[in-house]
Amino acid sequence: MVSRCTAVSVLKDIAFIDLEASGLSARSWPIEVGWCFANGGVQAMLIKPAPEWSFDDWSAEAETLHGVSPEMLDKDGVEPKEACEKLNAALAGKIIYSDAPDWDGFWLYRLFQAGRKRQRFIVSDLASLLRSVPPDKIGPLVTAAELRAPRRHRAAPDVMHMRMLYELAASGY
């Protein structure tokens, strides 16, 4: 049996991450990152384009989905180096869960390369946290999470959606 202290400690260390990007090409780059712990608030930041990131890789289709314009990035974004420092300060040494670890891992690589920093956390697949959910319960679980914390193609709502999926699964929904 897991003690309450152990359960709270484990819950404290579970975190979720999501990135939005300029598009889905092999040269796309991150425009927003958000993260949250299972028991804490949400953090998100827009990212200013690094000089080496080309607007040839900006997708109007992606902009329509996430609603973030290049002007918003210039006005409200942080430099890649600052984004890397904030991510490492919050997440160092932890395993962070993503619903798209291949894409998010790729964009984190681009971000940390541009910021000239070393990523100090590991990205893992959210599905690994949901393995105990029976296959016939996945659909209702996703629907319930969508109603409580809808995905919006923005980093903050998307990490809240992942956290809700985890909370519902952990509660035996």
Q: What is the pTM of this model?
A: 0.89
Would you state the pLDDT for residue 13?
Answer: 79
**Predicted local confidence at residue 172, as pLDDT:** 84
pLDDT in tens, the chain (173 residues): 333 333 334 556 799 999 999 999 999 999 999 999 998 889 999 999 999 999 999 999 999 999 999 999 999 999 999 999 999 999 999 999 999 999 999 999 999 999 999 999 999 999 999 998 999 999 999 999 999 998 889 999 999 999 999 999 998 87
Residue of 114, 66, 112, 116 lying closest to 87 (CA atoms): 112
Burial class (CB in 10 A: 0-12, 13-18, 19+), 153: middle
Tens of pLDDT, residue by residue over 68-107, are 999 999 999 999 999 999 999 999 999 999 999 999 999 9
Q: How many CB atoms lie within 10 A of CB 96?
A: 25
Class of domain 15-126: alpha beta
Look at residue 12 in the predicted model and tell me its pLDDT. 60
The count of residues in the chain is: 173
Model pLDDT, residue 166: 94
- Average pLDDT over the chain reads 92
Query: Of 172, 163, 173, which Cα lies nearest the Cα of 11?
Result: 163
